[in-house]
Amino acid sequence: MATELAPASAGAAFEPAAEAPLGVLGGTFDPIHTGHLRLAEEAREALGLGGVRLIPAGQPPHRGEPGSTAEDRLAMARLAAAGN
């Protein structure tokens, strides 16, 4: 599965994709779980995407405070996406 986190500089400059487009999956990921990863993989396959970027949300406006810190949720997402 081609799932990865967007680099810190993402959005600084736009470069058109020369290959298949990328999907974006945002969420609180508190915690990230196999359902998130399966959704990313199924979207990638169904839409012919070159990969899916996971974008952890800082503080979602529609929910209460996440149980884990933003740093911990980012680390969990990185670990979950590693090797995919």
Tens digits of per-residue pLDDT, 52-83?
Answer: 999 998 877 788 888 899 899 999 999 999 97
Band of residue 39 on the pLDDT scale cut at 50, 70, 90: very high
C-beta of residue 44 within 8 angstroms of C-beta of residue 20: no
The whole model's pTM is what?
0.71
Burial of 72 (C-beta count, 10 Å sphere; 0-12/13-18/19+): middle
Tell which residue, 50, 56, 54, has the closest CA to residue 22. Answer: 50
Which residue ranges make up each domain of the chain?
Answer: 23-81
What pLDDT score does 62 carry? 82
Residue type, 41: E
pLDDT, residue 84, reads 76
